[in-house]
Amino acid sequence: MDKWLIAADSSCDLPAEGPVAKAPFVISVGARDYVDDELLDTEEMLSDMESCPEASHTSCPSPGVWLELFELAENVIAVTISQRLSGSCASAATAREIYLERHPGRRVLLINSRSTGPALALIVRRARELISSGADFAALAEALPAYARSLRTAFALSSFTNLVKNGRMSRLTGFVANKLGVWGIGIGSEEGEIAVKSRLRGTVKALSALVDDMGSNGFDGGEVCISHCFNPDAARALREKIELRWRDARVHILETRGLCSYYAERRGLILAY
């Protein structure tokens, strides 16, 4: 048995490797279920979603899935998507109760990221750094929740298929927005709720809006993570804008996995800092 395990649900866009394990979501498109693991073909899933006339939906990892991961180590750091967006955090909490009843001497730190995608990646990276430095469980239990609360999230959507199919945007509005190259700009709240706040025409304006939001939230350098859904050019352009404005920003770029691809849709960007 390992001493440490970092367990994240699959809203985290980092690959499962080393001390990091994933609890997968399931994405249901029509009659087909896609398991959001390392074998998922994200392009195939997106194409299926785009051609399917019905609204798709997601299912969070069950307590049993989380419990299987917890059993792998003595000290577990579990990181979930915002509890305002999914039941994943509640499932992990149930699994923690069962695990600690079985193993009273072991420990599980559960972190509600209040976000998704790149924010989980930053939390996992910080956890790995602390573990590598020799920090004990008490130090991680103090540092990681505070770090998670300090993170901010923003996103830019250029496709509105899911919003239309789920009744959150009219079919006509979604059609016009797609045709005119409109981006939906959203900001994540401190409570972990996410909503489209404005609509801008053109990629340059959308990227500038994301950078301006960082400045208005007091960003002054440090770790940044960008997840993109089949849009590496926009992700690199956003990184350049950030690095030009803040010379000591350290920007990481990731590809969205299944769940974040489901939310961001094709060409979408999710930013955490």
Give CA–CA dist 155/228, Å, rounded: 10
**Overall pTM > 0.75:** yes
pLDDT in tens, 249-273: 999 999 999 999 998 899 999 999 9
CB 253 within 8 A of CB 223: no
Give CA–CA dist 160/1, Å, rounded: 45
| Helix axes of 203-216 and 232-245: crossing angle, nearest 10 degrees | 40
CB 37 within 8 A of CB 21: no
Residue with tokens 């609204």: 55
pLDDT in tens, 132-146: 999 999 999 999 999
